[in-house]
Amino acid sequence: MATSNNSIHKYITAPAPRFVLRLFALDKLFAKYISGSNKSFLEIGPGRGDVCAYLIEHPSIAKGTAVDLSDKSVEILKSRFKKTINLEIFCHDIAHNNLNESFDYIVACEVLEHIDDDVEFLEKINALLNPNGYLFLSVPAYMKKWQQQDVHSGHVRRYEKAEIQEKLSDAGLVALNVLDYGFPLTTLLYPFRQLYYKDDENRSKIEKTKSSGTERALFSKVSPDLSLPLYYPFALIQRLFYKFEFGDGLIIVATKK
């Protein structure tokens, strides 16, 4: 298996706690499932591009594509990767328009919960995935943990473990790995998120969706060098609970049936 010396953590630009904990978990999954050479990836909804920055420098990756609904996100990405020649970036809606190529790896973090017909969306992803390729998917977990941040971000739902696996199966995919992440830090921060996030009824669902990938005003001015060491212990602790249902997010690795 090919390995990468670059850690995903050094690419973090706005260290929001839940986002960082997700990247810690993704880092281990990328190390396990990404290998070989001359591989391609697609990231759907890359936001500020932290995952793209990691993947495009991975020794197994030859080229990447990043698509986002948000013009602001595309602007941020094009500025960040203006010197990166093997990464294509453009504004695109996978839900309504197909791409004319396929990929070895597809990443869609915090995207599916915005989609009304999520099974159809997963079917489109399946059509874009090469045989023996992998989908890395993250979603907010458990409707009992519905919160103000969900409303603020334009979410349609949160997912149960069995539900997401069943929907993947309906779309012709099979889950190889399902991790429950975030506990205990996201649980401790829940009351603060409830107070911080407010719904803006003047914004449409699509406007909320477009801003959710880049909107980290509270953390954009925080230095990752100062904040990331605070998260390391929680990143280690959460590994003990990956198979339980204590966190508030799921990360799934899937492939074609």
Helical packing angle, 224-238 and 185-196, nearest 10°: 130
Distances (CA, A) of 213 to 8, 16, 239: 18, 12, 25
d(CA 83, CA 149): 35
User: Would you state the pLDDT for residue 97?
Assistant: 73
**What are the backbone angles phi and psi of residue 158, rounded to the nearest 5°?**
-115, 160
Low-confidence ranges of the chain (pLDDT < 70): 1-6, 199, 201-202, 205-222
Distances (CA, A) of 109 to 1, 23, 202, 211: 24, 10, 26, 14
Task: Give residue limits of the domains in the chain.
Answer: 8-256
User: Would you state the pLDDT for residue 209?
Assistant: 63
Nearest to 89, CA basis, from 102, 76, 98, 103: 76
User: Would you state the pLDDT for residue 3?
Assistant: 39
**Both tokens of residue 157?**
């739902």
User: Would you state the pLDDT for residue 10?
Assistant: 85
Q: Give per-residue pLDDT as tens, 194-251.
A: 887 776 766 776 665 655 555 655 555 667 777 888 899 999 999 999 999 999 999 9
**Both tokens of residue 137?**
């998917």
**What does the DSSP 8-state code read for residue 248?**
S
User: Would you state the pLDDT for residue 149?
Assistant: 85
d(CA 156, CA 89): 26
What is the second-level CATH architecture of the domain 8-256? 3-Layer(aba) Sandwich (3.40)
Share of the chain above pLDDT 70, in %: 88
User: Would you state the pLDDT for residue 154?
Assistant: 86
- Strand ranges for the chain from DSSP E: 39-44, 61-68, 87-91, 103-109, 129-140, 173-181, 249-256
